[in-house]
Amino acid sequence: MALPLPKRARVEGDRKVCMVTGGTGMVGKAIEHEIKAQRPEGEKWIFLSRKDADLRDMGATRAVFEKYRPTHVLHLAAMVGGLFKNLKYKADFLRENMLINDCVLHCCYEFQVQKCVSCLSTCIFPDKTTYPIDETMIHDGPPHESNFGYAYAKRLIDIQNRAYHEQYGCCFTSVIPTNVFGLYDNFELEDSHVIPGLIHKCYNAKRDDTPLTVWGSGRPLRQFIFAEDLAKLMVWALREYDEISPLILSVDEDQEVSIREVAEMVAKGIEFKGKLEFDSSKSDGQFKKTASNAKLRKFLPKFQFSNLEKAIEETVDWFILNYDELRR
């Protein structure tokens, strides 16, 4: 049975109030930077951190929605981690992300949010599939064993979006970025994704005059998207993308690179001259996740993605400059 809907407050006339959950993470910071550069009229942007509310708790989530009365929501908040954290804490990744997503989406319904765009991940796609993957294939089979807890929790957002749309008419949708990296990333060695982890390892190897040891064979293939590019696309999606079905946000297929190539780019960016080694005793995870951005290109055929090598160099420079204050 549907709950009664609270009357949505008007904030300074009909101005949009855009609230970003997980707003102080890497993607949230990139979006904040993009909004400051655009200086859009008629929009107020709010970037939430964990200090603002525990989004696993419905009461706390309702309170922050009551405080800000958003008209639009970019939902980035999630329990996230690298491959080896996903392998170890599958139940935690499943449960905590389900709680976060349920609280945020239901409050979007209760507070009559005009649009909510949630951020998913390419890890939600089936492990056994054909390539390239596209938006129609999300539920065609089980995800990779290494991160099924996180993957199933994220898949459920697509189910929730459809359910809220069909029952209540809500405009809830989602975007699926490929591997994101950039400034303000998490560089913790035991908890980071590929590029930030390699940057930190390579920095240590140069400092200590030791080889750079990369976990896995280096052969797996990935598409990487710079956080600044993703921010531009997510702001566009919040304003312009009105379909309920998900939208992959990815570089073109011919920009897919191996982990070895990425490690070499990182070494070049740090000016590391030592030996590069690969520890094949460590898991490679899913070998490839090649994603099609054909649907995105129908909307934005001329969008220019950042050059990967230059974006890695920019991230390396930021890491070195901010080394003392980073999560590491």
CATH code at position 280: 3.90.25.10
Grouping H, G, I as helix, E, B as strand and the rest as coil, residue 56 is coil
pTM of the model as a whole: 0.91
CATH code at position 76: 3.40.50.720
The confidence score (pLDDT) of residue 328 equals 54
Q: Looking at the structure, tell me whether residues 136 and 204 fall in a common domain.
A: no
Q: Could you tell me if residue 83 is inside a domain?
A: yes
Q: Could you tell me if residue 296 is inside a domain?
A: no
Q: Looking at the structure, tell me whether residues 35 and 117 fall in a common domain.
A: yes
Q: Looking at the structure, tell me whether residues 82 and 92 fall in a common domain.
A: yes
pLDDT in tens, 294-308: 999 999 999 999 999
Q: Looking at the structure, tell me whether residues 45 and 146 fall in a common domain.
A: yes
Q: Looking at the structure, tell me whether residues 110 and 217 fall in a common domain.
A: no
Q: Could you tell me if residue 159 is inside a domain?
A: yes
Domain final residue pick, 253, 268, 295 = 253
Q: Residue 3's pLDDT band (boundaries 50, 70, 90)?
A: very low
Domain final residue pick, 233, 253, 273 = 253
Structural domain boundaries, residue 43: 16-181+223-253
Cite the active site residues: 150
* Neighbouring-strand partners of residue 72: 18, 115
Q: Looking at the structure, tell me whether residues 200 and 129 fall in a common domain.
A: no
Residue 80 in this model has a pLDDT that exceeds 90: no
Q: Residue 15's pLDDT band (boundaries 50, 70, 90)?
A: confident
Q: Could you tell me if residue 236 is inside a domain?
A: yes
Q: Looking at the structure, tell me whether residues 58 and 95 fall in a common domain.
A: yes
> Would the CA dihedral through 184, 189, 194, 200 be positive or negative?
positive
Q: Tell the burial category of 55 from Cβ atoms under 10 Å away from its Cβ (0-12, 13-18, 19+).
A: buried
Q: Looking at the structure, tell me whether residues 20 and 161 fall in a common domain.
A: yes
Q: Percent of the chain scored above 70 by pLDDT?
A: 94
Q: Looking at the structure, tell me whether residues 85 and 229 fall in a common domain.
A: yes
**What are the contacts of 319-323 at 24+ separation with CB within 8 A?**
319/187, 319/196, 319/199, 319/200, 319/203, 320/203, 320/270, 323/203
Q: Could you give the count of Cα atoms lying within 13 Å of 162 in the half-sphere of its Cβ?
A: 6
Alpha carbon separation from 245 to 164, 196, 198, 288 (Å, rounded): 12, 31, 34, 23
Q: Residue 327's pLDDT band (boundaries 50, 70, 90)?
A: low
pLDDT in tens, 259-316: 999 999 999 999 999 999 999 888 777 788 899 999 999 999 999 999 999 999 999 9
Q: Could you tell me if residue 298 is inside a domain?
A: no
The confidence score (pLDDT) of residue 193 equals 82
Query: Could you give the number of structural domains in the chain?
Result: 2
Q: Looking at the structure, tell me whether residues 116 and 48 fall in a common domain.
A: yes
pLDDT in tens, 128-143: 999 999 999 999 999 9
Distance from C-alpha of 27 to C-alpha of 22, rounded to nearest angstrom: 8
The confidence score (pLDDT) of residue 6 equals 44
Structure tokens at 9: 């407050």
The confidence score (pLDDT) of residue 325 equals 84
Q: Could you tell me if residue 76 is inside a domain?
A: yes
Q: Residue 164's pLDDT band (boundaries 50, 70, 90)?
A: very high
pLDDT in tens, 97-135: 999 999 999 999 999 999 999 999 988 999 899 999 999
Report yes or no: 255 and 311 within 8 Å, Cβ to Cβ: no
Q: Looking at the structure, tell me whether residues 76 and 122 fall in a common domain.
A: yes
Grouping H, G, I as helix, E, B as strand and the rest as coil, residue 166 is helix
Q: Looking at the structure, tell me whether residues 234 and 200 fall in a common domain.
A: no
pLDDT, mean over the chain: 92
Residue 77 in this model has a pLDDT that exceeds 80: yes
Residue 45 in this model has a pLDDT that exceeds 60: yes
Q: Could you tell me if residue 149 is inside a domain?
A: yes
Q: Could you tell me if residue 11 is inside a domain?
A: no
Per-residue pLDDT averaged across 47-66, rounded?
97
